[in-house]
A = this chain, B = another copy of it.
Amino acid sequence: MVGGGEGAFIGAVHRWAARLDGEIQLVCGAFSRDPENTARTGASLGLNADRCYADYVEMMRAEAALPADERMEFVAIVTPNHVHFPVAKAALEAGFHVLSDKPATLNVAEAKALRDIVSENPHLAYGLTHTYLGYPLVGEARRIIEAGGIGKVRKVFVEYIQGWLATELENKQADWRTDPAKSGGSGCMGDIGTHAHNLAEFMTRKKITHVAADLTTFVDGRRLDDDGSALFRMEDGVKGTLSASQICVGKENTLSIRIYGETGGLEWHQEEPNTLLRTYADKPTEILRAGQGYLSEGAQAGFRTPPGHPEGYLEAFANVYREFAQALRNEGAVATGIDGAVRGMAFVDALLESSANNSEWTEIKT
């Protein structure tokens, strides 16, 4: 693991997720640029001191030098955004698989550079932890749509709104997220808008081709967008809207998507992730529930307990890790790989370009 020292948020989440199913073991880390933080973090996680490294360069070098059955198998990248790229690049070049937090990189050029490395090294796996794809009912929605369950898709509403950046906030989490050098050209859209984009494309299996966006910075003095909305167009005539905002006071983590096709619709809300609403033209709306026997096998496999025992964010994240482990065993593909990584960065670039050009329709170029 690179990143995730004391004071970090997402590193701990990755560790919970990796640990849950007992398939993955943390064996080494470069948790912080502060060696003492790294040492304390490693000790608290039960690592040997000699596998707590000063930095990721040292980690790649030292681990690669270990015997194959002792060295780490893959690197989990849980740093702020601007460090994702150099670590991923170094890991791949040292021959390690990579599971990176999102967004993949600071910009689309970096993402394409990673893609080049991965495409030249097909034995290396690259995964991006778009956590929300790990919810079993998200996959179920995708399967229903693929099976024609709502007919040809017409319209998608997707949004991801939060309130925690509604005022100027002084903490570690907020700080780097609003710093262009660490977070990239976009704040809110890079941080959470990419999840909305990823979710919409995953469920529908359609790519967003064009966006017309209006990004805003509502909080005085902030250097990046903290809010934005976009009209979008997907392949095959699908249309939609996407909003992401971190200034919606009182909202927690409201990622939601609604998809309407010619014969039905689907609605899913991350804050109540074990429910999927399915609408029909002439029949009552159905409440699909995680874990139920009437779901597909795939959805059932992603739920650990009987229906009515809520599973949440950590279980979804664990599913992403489990899926990555399966991919390493050649038992399947990751939901978001290097192509998804590039798409996410290109999406953000297109939003920024459109917003700068008076919301002009802008193509997403990958």
Interface residues of A (CB under 8 A from B): 9, 12-13, 15-16, 19-22, 45-46, 150-151, 154-155, 157, 159, 162-164, 166-167, 212, 214, 216, 218, 227, 229-231, 233, 239-241, 243, 245, 247-254, 258, 260-265, 270-274, 278-289, 291-294, 304-315, 358-361
Q: Knowing A22-B19, A314-B304 touch, does A309 contact B253 (C-beta < 8 A)?
A: yes
Q: Which of B20, B45, B248, B260 contacts A16 (CB 8 A)?
A: B20
CB of A294 within 8 A of CB of B282, answer yes
Residues in B with CB closer than 8 Å to A294 are: 282-284
Is the Cβ of B13 less than 8 Å from the Cβ of A253? no
| Inter-chain contact A239/B216, CB cutoff 8 Å | yes
Residues of B within 8 A of A291 (CB): 252
This chain's copy number in the assembly? 4
B285 near A250: Cβ-Cβ < 8 Å: yes
**Chain B residues with CB under 8 A of A308:** 162, 251-254, 270-271
Instruction: Report the separation of the CA atoms of residues A45 and B16 in the bound assembly, to the nearest whole angstrom.
Output: 17
Q: Within 8 Å CB of A284, what residues of B?
A: 278, 286-289, 292, 294
What residue of chain B has the Cβ atom nearest to residue A255's Cβ?
B308
Q: How far is the CB of A354 from chain B (nearest CB, A)?
A: 10
A313 and B307: CB pair below 8 A? no
Complex: A230 Cα to B214 Cα, angstroms: 11
* 21 pairs, CB–CB < 8 Å, chain A vs chain B: A13-B305, A16-B20, A19-B19, A19-B20, A154-B227, A155-B216, A155-B218, A155-B245, A163-B265, A163-B279, A163-B281, A212-B214, A214-B233, A229-B231, A229-B240, A241-B241, A249-B262, A278-B284, A314-B314, A358-B361, A359-B361
Contact across chains for B260 and A247 when beta carbons are under 8 A apart: yes
Let me know if A249 and B280 touch, CB within 8 A.
Answer: yes
Q: Which residues of B contact A305 (CB under 8 A)?
A: 13, 313-314
Q: Is the CB of A239 within 8 A of B260?
A: no
Asked if residues B229 and A239 are in contact (CB atoms below 8 Å), the reply is: yes
Q: Nearest residue in B to A214 (C-beta to C-beta)?
A: B231
Q: Closest 4 CB pairs between A and B?
A: A250-B279, A252-B308, A253-B308, A310-B312
Q: Contact: B279 with A264, CB < 8 Å? A: no
A358: chain B residues within 8 A (beta carbon): 360-361
Cα of A230 to Cα of B241 in the assembled complex, Å: 9
